[in-house]
Structure 1
Amino acid sequence: MAAPIVGATTRAAYAEAKPVRIGYIADYFGTSLTAIATDQNLWAKHGLEPDLKIFTNGPIQIQALGAGSLDFGYVGPGALWLPATGKAKLVAINVLGLSDRVIAQKGINSVADLKGKKVGVPEGTSGDMLLRLGLAKAGMTISDIEVVKMDPSTVVSAFASKQIDGAGIWYPLVGIIKKTVPDLVEVAKSDDFYPENSFPSAFVARNEVIAGDVDVVRKFIATMKEANDYRVADVPRSVAITAKFLGVPAEPLEVESRNGKFLTTAELVAASRDGTVANWLKGLNDQFVAFGKMQNPLDPKDYYLADLYAGA
């Protein structure tokens, strides 16, 4: 097979490529843009040489950013309270996620029925957020259930073995659990709270990178923008690329891909300019404050680099 023709611009980008350390999470929303950028050679096109690092959740990536061992990362909505407290800067919106669920064992038919029962949840994630929203809607608080903090993979095994009565978790993990527990009950879902509550996932950057090398931030944003439009144009193809990148079956990722609202880069630019993204983030901040995750969050304009995203 003949080698692809490399243009002068691409050759220059290769020669001047900046090394960057980038985190991702091994599910569709947490990996797809990274996988597309790799498959379509977008990193080199935009002058980056990525060192890709896999993580299990967003808060750990924020910690890695703070420790200086990561430059960019991916976080779900449940971790966006960390940028709102100054731990990192948000540089791009990924997708509006609708994949979170509160699930329960057979016989538990509502969030209210979880009162006094064991509920597993990965702390500080979107599953945690949806659980708290569901409890509030039912006139309850987190103190009305027995919370069992565990990582996502442990939620899967604990629910399957009936060690817990419920869980705040997301697709594709819900789909995996259903294979073992087909009669589980979805007592709350993200869509129940949309659009009053929007759940954006996003890409974040280390504060020192923002302060010291805005050019590399522009290159990263440009890569994400191009990968985003590729995904919007052909979601099934993006699922196949992501499955190949992760070395996993496509089916769970395809299910996950149906639980998100995709916006084109042009739509995200417009939403960044007109304050729509800021309103999404403010809504999340209000929830985080109500849930006791933080006090006095930053204004979204102070941690989402909307102008940089719109102009990069």
Structure 2
Amino acid sequence: MRIKSIAAALLMAASAALSAAQFPESISITYVKAPFNLQNIVMKERGMLEEAFKNENVKIDWRVINSGAQQGQAMASGDLDFSAVMNTASLLMAAGAGNPIAVATGVAHPKGIFAIVGKPGEALSVKDLKGKTVVGPKGTVLHQLLVAALKQEGLSISDVDFVNMDPAAAMTAVVAGKADAALLAANLILKANDAGAKTIVTCDGYVDPNLVMTVRREFAQQYPEAYDRVVAVNRAALAWIRANKDEALRIGAKAQGVTVEEAAKLYDGSGFYDTLTDADIASLEKDQAFLLENGMMQKSVDVKSLILPSALK
């Protein structure tokens, strides 16, 4: 009888050890509020990931990394497991550089909240940017927008003085007149417009922005249950937002430092979604061709291989 008890205890201990091995001690994930990443904001502010992993005592390590390029570097080094929000231009460039990165689920198609904004006091066109200083984040969909808009006017990125700059700093620079134009998104566009800076163009007619959640491939392979749970929580956040829109907008407005009315405008321009479609894959193929043609990406990748099955269902 004692032998049976010992065997049962050993079996339970082995089962507990196996269960623990299926989950990491911690999960590192970005917290990126801009442009208007409402799923990310709601997920963090409501403690949804913490609640989802509390029984396994998994620590959620929120990391503020706004640059898609820096997110890719952190994932390549193993310092970051998930980018809650990454634009597909950054995704493709990271993958082209050999970064073991993959799409976990969709986030948004924010066509209406990315723009090139000119300094106050001038009504600039894209053509007027020749020889001018343009500031904004390199290696992002905003960078892609600038290249596409210039190209449509017979210009190239070499025709402007493009200075790599964080979006918040870019907004400050253009409003102060220290730059002729800035690449801005969401609430930064609203703030710049309020300060007299005029929007030159948005993405409409130039690029189709897509924001996705990405994961370090090794994490998804090593901890499939934890990976699936993070994806499920991100989608649950979107479902909660749609069911509780007024409350979600209040949460988003507070996080972004805008009014609820402004948050509603950002919501309308964000195009939130979760499941990728064939149209998204085709758009990724088109974006890759553009990035390669314009020297923003050095090596092509198999686009379909970047998308994990979870992102398509």
Residues 1:165 and 2:180 are matched in the alignment: yes
Residues 1:294 and 2:284 are matched in the alignment: no
Partner in structure 2 of residue 79 of structure 1 = 90
Task: Give TM-score scaled by structure 2 length.
Answer: 0.81
What amino acid maps onto 2:204 in structure 1? D
Go from structure 1 to structure 2 and tell me whether the alpha carbon gap of 1:45 and 1:110 turns closer, same or farther (over 3 Å shift): same
Task: Give TM-score scaled by structure 1 length.
Answer: 0.81
Alpha-carbon separation, structure 1, partners of 2:69 and 2:263: 22
What amino acid maps onto 1:72 in structure 2? F
Partner in structure 2 of residue 34 of structure 1 = 40
Deviation at 1:149, TM superposition (A): 1.9
Alpha-carbon separation, structure 2, partners of 1:191 and 1:236: 28
SS at 2:31 equivalent: strand
Residues 1:248 and 2:257 are matched in the alignment: yes
Partner in structure 2 of residue 282 of structure 1 = 285
Deviation at 1:284, TM superposition (A): 1.6
Partner in structure 2 of residue 202 of structure 1 = 212
Partner in structure 1 of residue 201 of structure 2 = 188
Alpha-carbon separation, structure 2, partners of 1:46 and 1:155: 37
1:203-241 deviation line (CA, Å, top 9, x unaligned): 111122123222211111111111122223444432222
Alpha-carbon separation, structure 1, partners of 2:35 and 2:125: 28
Partner in structure 1 of residue 32 of structure 2 = 25
Deviation at 1:67, TM superposition (A): 1.8
What amino acid maps onto 1:76 in structure 2? N
State the identity as a percent.
21
SS at 2:36 equivalent: helix
SS at 1:241 equivalent: helix
Q: CA RMSD in A?
A: 2.5
Structure 2: any 5+ residue segments left out of the alignment?
1-18
Q: Map 1:58-69 onto structure 2 (within 5 A).
A: 58-69=68-79
Go from structure 1 to structure 2 and tell me whether the alpha carbon gap of 1:295 and 1:214 turns closer, same or farther (over 3 Å shift): same
What is the aligned residue count? 283
Partner in structure 2 of residue 9 of structure 1 = none
Deviation at 1:159, TM superposition (A): 0.6
Alpha-carbon separation, structure 2, partners of 1:37 and 1:145: 39
Residues 1:217 and 2:217 are matched in the alignment: no
Q: Would the aligned equivalents of 1:18 and 1:216 in 2 still touch at CA under 8 Å? A: no
Q: Would the aligned equivalents of 1:91 and 1:205 in 2 still touch at CA under 8 Å? A: yes
Structure (1 or 2) with the larger CA radius of gyration: 2
